[in-house]
């Protein structure tokens, strides 16, 4: 079974209570559960991971290089600052989709820049939790192509 890893960055563990007017009312556990179910329906193993720590995220990306067929990442605030996460992604030879719940281009100017956009396969922004659903479908498509 092909494996897809979902990595979520800082403060996403607070989904459902953190700024619901921006991020909605669904918790990360709700999103993770739906992704595992969607993965099962597609014949994919889905692993989810969240950390508030940049180094832990880098470590998890490095693990993805050994055994994952696709990666979906919402680096949250690290999107705009982390060269370390960017460099870790450069090692991967698998499809990588960057996801953001909110439309980062409609927010504060410092959120408009992504350190990752030029090294990921694709990017989905502003569609709330549905963005994760689309990202898993995209990874499935990309890893199923001959």
Instruction: Please give the positions annotated as active site.
Output: 23, 100
d(CA 30, CA 92): 28
Distances (CA, A) of 1 to 45, 62, 77: 6, 20, 32
Look at the block and give the residue holding tokens 């960017």.
86
**N-terminal to C-terminal alpha carbon distance within the chain:** 16
């Amino acid at each position: 079974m092909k494996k897809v890893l979902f990595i979520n960055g800082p403060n996403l563990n607070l989904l459902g209570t953190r700024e619901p007017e921006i991020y909605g009312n669904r918790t990360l556990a709700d999103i993770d559960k739906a992704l595992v179910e969607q993965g099962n329906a597609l014949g994919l193993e889905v692993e989810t991971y969240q950390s508030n720590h940049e180094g832990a995220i880098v470590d998890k990306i490095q693990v993805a290089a050994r055994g994952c067929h696709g990666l979906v990442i919402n680096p949250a605030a690290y999107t705009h600052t982390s060269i370390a996460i960017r460099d870790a992604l450069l090692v991967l030879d698998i499809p990588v989709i960057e996801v953001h719940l909110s439309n980062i281009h409609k927010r504060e100017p410092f959120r408009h820049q992504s350190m990752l956009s030029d090294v990921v396969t694709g990017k989905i922004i502003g569609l709330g939790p549905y963005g994760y659903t689309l990202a898993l479908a995209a990874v499935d498509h990309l890893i199923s192509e001959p």
